[in-house]
Structure formats: C-alpha cells, structure tokens
Amino acid sequence: MSTRLDSADTSASSQSTPRTAWFALAVLMLPVLLIAIDNTVLAFALPSIAEDFRPSAATQLWIVDVYSLVLAALLVPMGSLGDRVGRRRLLLIGATGFAVVSAAAAFAPSAHALVGARALLGVFGAMLMPSTLSLIRNIFIQDSSRRLAIAIWASCFTAGSALGPIVGGVLLEHFHWGSVFLVAVPILLPLLVFAPKLVPESRDPNPGPLDMLSISLAFATMLPIVWAVKSAAHDGLSVTAGAAAALGVAAGVWFVRRQNRSRTPMLDMSLFTYGPFSSSVLANFLSIVGLIGFLFFISQHLQLVLGLSPLMAGLVTLPGALMSIAGGMGVVKLAKRFAPQTLIVAGLLLVSAGFGLILLFRHDLTIAAVIASFVILELGVGVSQTVSNDTIVASVPPAKAGAASAVSETAYELGAVVGTATLGTIFTAFYRANVVVPAQLSDQAAADATESIGGATAVAREVSPAVAERLLDSARTAFDSGIAPTAAIAAALTLTAAVLVARAFRGYDVGASPRDSQSTPQQS
C-alpha cells in the first residue's frame, strides 16, 4: 500500500484546473467577505441600535457576542460534519440559512429578537467558516499555491472588515440600522449560483460514524465556558458563572478522553501536542482578543467622543485594513526566506506596538493617532494571521482539513467573544465609575446615561442644551478613562503570544509537520 491522498481529495483536485481553482477561490471568498462585513458593521451600527431599543449594557454585549458564542460552540462539530457529508454541501446549506436569517434580523422588533436572530446566524455561520478554509486546503495541494490562497483568504477577511464600516456608514446615513443585515443577501446569491459549478466537492471517504455524543460534548464545552467568561466579566464572579465554567471543563475533559479513545475521532487531539499547531492557534486567539476589543471601543470613540458620522468613522479604519491586506499578501514572499515562527512573532510584535501607540496617545486620541495605531496593528495582524492559519491547515492531511480549519476559526471566534466581554467590560466599568450624571435627570434617564455612553448620548437629545453639554462632557471623559488599561492588557496579551510562539516552534521542522509523519488515508 502506498501513502497518497484519499480518493475524494484526489477527485477534488483533479476537477480543478489551475484556472478553475482560482475561480473557485473567488467564489469561496464571498462568504468570507460577508462574515467579515457582518462582524465589523454591527459595531458601527450599535450606537443606532442602542438609541432605538435602549438596551442595557449587558444586552448590547449580547447583541455583539451571541453570534460569536454560538459560532464558537459549533465550529468544531460543523467542521467535522463537513468532512463527513461534504464541505461544499455544508457551505451551501449555511449560505442559504444565513441569507434568510439576515433578512429577518433586519426587521427585528426588539433587542431580544435581534439577539435571537444573531444566535441563529451563529448556527449557519458555523457551517460557512470552516468550509471555506478546508475547501481551500483541498483545492490547493502545493505549499506555495496554498499559502497564496490562504493569504488571499485572510486579505479578503480584512477587506470585509474594512468595507463593513464604510458600507455600514453609507447605509446608516440613509436608511434604518436594519439595512446592514440585508447586505448578506446580494453577497450570498452569487455563491449559491456558482459554487455548485466551480467548487469541487470534497469529504473524508473514511470518516467513521457520526458521533452525536462528541458533537454534544463539544457544544457543552464551549457554550458554558464562553457564557461564564461573559458573565464574570460583566457581573463579577458568581456561583452561577463558576458552575457554568465547571460544567464546560467537565464536558471538555469528557470530550478529550472520548477523542483519544476513538479510532475515528471527530478531532485528533494529538495535533495539540505539535508545537507549531497549538502555538499558532493560541496566537490567533490572543491577537484577536486584542483586535476585537480595540474595534469595540474605537468605533464608539470615533462616533460618540470625536463626533464622526458612521461613514467617516469607517473611513478612519480603512488605511489600517489596506495595510493588513498588504501585510498578508507580502508575507507570502517573505515565507520563502524566513521561518514561519519568525514571521508570526514579528507580526505579533507589530500588533503589540500598535496598542503601545494607543497607550502613548491615550490622553489625546485624535483621528491621526487612531489611524497611526491601527495601521501598525493591522499590518501585524495581516502577517501573523496568514502564516499561523497556513501552519494550522498544513498540519493535517487534506481529508481532515475541516476539523483543523474549525479549530482555527474557533480560536478566532472565541477570541472575539473574550475580547468583547473582557476588554469591553473594562471600558464599561471605567465608564460607570467615572461618569457624573446631572441632578436634573429623572431616575430612568440617569440609569440610561449611567449604563453606557450610547445611553448618555440618547438621553442628551431629550434634555436642555446646558444639561446635555454637561452630561456629554462627563460621558466622553468617563469613556476614554478606560483606554489606558485596555491598551495595556491587549499589548501584554500579544507579547505573551509572541513569546509562546517563539518557544513552541523550537525543535520542529515545520516542513516535516504531522501531515508528513502521520499516514494519510491509504488505498490499495
């Protein structure tokens, strides 16, 4: 018996000529673009949503976080499911559901209904995200073409992040906030039309039976742990949060033991003993914690403190997004000369330097200071994320690409949840501790103004100009009081990630990763 690619993956690659492979990549970029737009456009729509529904600070965080929470809980099961039923099939199911639920979210009648719609988007988003990266892993087999395709994938994600605020700004200046969700429909329709023709189907031909218990355990691990992080960050430590975390840990231990004992595990846990794989996952997680935390506060700082419109606030982030694309594409050539760990560490150090600039300019965080900080930060994200994602997906045989891709995406989404929950909560805590509410306000208005800077802005429109001016001055000063600790924590996290990556790669020849040492599925 000879070691070679399994029949399904050989079929997938043979169906794609070099030209059609790149056309297939273009189609696969559509859901990536959508998810990136969806992530950032909501942050810029949040002030309008807060003004319309006046939700509590906790509900605002749920509107942002519930999507990532559900997504993170389901990514590994969905990645494994795609390996079994077909990655393209799962992609098309997810795209259809995402478009339908996005349309429903646009007309949500309340903040709680919007939270529910966002949760459903997380379910269908979990079908989209690992499918795109795993399909790329199977279409592009050679290292050089795969690395370029992943760089384009990461750049498209960054481009969507940049387009989100701009598209959202245009829509929010002319239409209701619900219009930002309708963007999903025209983006996903071409995917549904062209993917069956251009994207070859691929699956693991020997996946073993569908393990519903493992799927349940993966969900039972992620959901309570992420909820516990959110709850503890917002309300402090409690018995409920502790019990949820304990439940998640217990389910996680059971999940790991079940995978180690299974002949056909849903997720090969031995991958985490491979230093480059595990440290790349950790690098993704920690860098995204800082980046999403940054976007959470900077979108509100630009609009509610500096007074920019949603469109202008989005344009402020554009230079940084373009620099991230340049970094992601440029690192493909650098990867021929430098070791992966060198490039990942360099990217993480740039991210940390970006937060350092925010810390330096914390007392005068002007538009120019935001642009300069974001340019350096996003350059580092583009470099580190491209190389770390390539390391993750290259660590497994193509037949197992779905589960590995899901691990990468789980790190991203878990980072988004933790970043918003912890760093966002730090801002909320500093805001509440420092805001001074004028005595002329009613009890309800005072409660709304104390809850968040968005609430204070809404209250200011309903009181006299003199009271409004005092309230807004206090609210803006209180909000910006959280800049220093948040930037310091984010910088420390990315520096920690850089140290861990440098140490974890020692002694490994990444060119001889587990995909070379482990036997890929064999045929007679």
Residue-by-residue DSSP string for 214-254: HHHHHHHHHHHHHHHHHHHHHH-S-HHHHHHHHHHHHHHHH
Q: Which of 263, 281, 306 is the last residue of a domain?
A: 263
CA-based nearest residue to 449, from 430, 426, 424, 475: 475
User: Is 456 part of any domain?
Assistant: no
CA-based nearest residue to 377, from 501, 500, 487, 496: 487
Long-range Cβ pairs for the range 307-310 (8 Å, 24+)? 308/367, 309/169, 309/173, 310/44, 310/45, 310/47, 310/48, 310/165, 310/168, 310/169, 310/172, 310/173
User: Is 448 part of any domain?
Assistant: no
CA distance 300 to 317: 13
Residues 6+ apart with CB under 8 A from 315: 165, 166, 169
What backbone phi and psi angles, to 5 degrees, belong to 522?
A: -110, 160
The reply to whether 36 and 100 lie within a common domain is yes
pLDDT over 50 (residue 8): no
The reply to whether 136 and 217 lie within a common domain is no
The reply to whether 237 and 297 lie within a common domain is no
Q: Tell me how many domains the chain contains.
A: 2
Q: Which of 227, 248, 263 is the last residue of a domain?
A: 263
User: Is 451 part of any domain?
Assistant: no
Q: Given this model, what pLDDT does residue 434 score?
A: 84
User: Is 441 part of any domain?
Assistant: no
CA-based nearest residue to 376, from 401, 349, 399, 396: 349
What backbone phi and psi angles, to 5 degrees, belong to 339?
A: -70, 150
Q: Given this model, what pLDDT does residue 10 score?
A: 39
Which sign does the torsion angle of CA 429, 232, 35, 335 carry?
positive
SS3 state of residue 523: strand
Q: Which residues pair with 523 in a beta bridge?
A: 2
CA distance 296 to 42: 10
Q: How many CB atoms lie within 10 A of CB 1?
A: 7
Residues 6+ apart with CB under 8 A from 224: 244, 245, 247, 248, 251
User: Is 440 part of any domain?
Assistant: no
The reply to whether 354 and 338 lie within a common domain is yes
User: Is 79 part of any domain?
Assistant: yes
The reply to whether 135 and 234 lie within a common domain is no
The reply to whether 89 and 224 lie within a common domain is no
How far is residue 84 from each of residues 87, 126, 208, 511, measured CA to CA in Å? 8, 15, 8, 28
User: Is 131 part of any domain?
Assistant: yes
Residues listed for the chain: 524
The reply to whether 273 and 168 lie within a common domain is yes
Is the pTM higher than 0.75? no
The reply to whether 30 and 147 lie within a common domain is yes
Average pLDDT value over all residues in the chain = 79
CA distance 154 to 349: 19
The reply to whether 40 and 26 lie within a common domain is yes
The reply to whether 188 and 57 lie within a common domain is yes
Q: What is the pLDDT of residues 163-202, one digit of tens each?
A: 776 777 777 777 888 888 888 888 888 999 888 888 888 7
User: Is 512 part of any domain?
Assistant: yes
The reply to whether 365 and 388 lie within a common domain is yes
CATH number at residue 299: 1.20.1250.20
Q: Which residues pair with 522 in a beta bridge?
A: 3
Among all chains, which residue has been given the structure tokens 């690395």? 147
- 401 pLDDT band, cuts 50/70/90, is low
pLDDT over 60 (residue 238): yes
- Domain of 132, in residue numbers: 13-200+264-434+482-516
The 8-class DSSP code of residue 399 comes to G
Q: What is the pLDDT of residues 70-115, one digit of tens each?
A: 877 787 788 778 877 888 889 999 999 999 999 888 888 888 889 8
pLDDT over 80 (residue 24): yes
SS3 state of residue 336: coil
Q: Which of 263, 286, 306 is the last residue of a domain?
A: 263
Across 42-90, where does the E strand assignment appear? none
430's tokens? 């500093």
The reply to whether 108 and 239 lie within a common domain is no
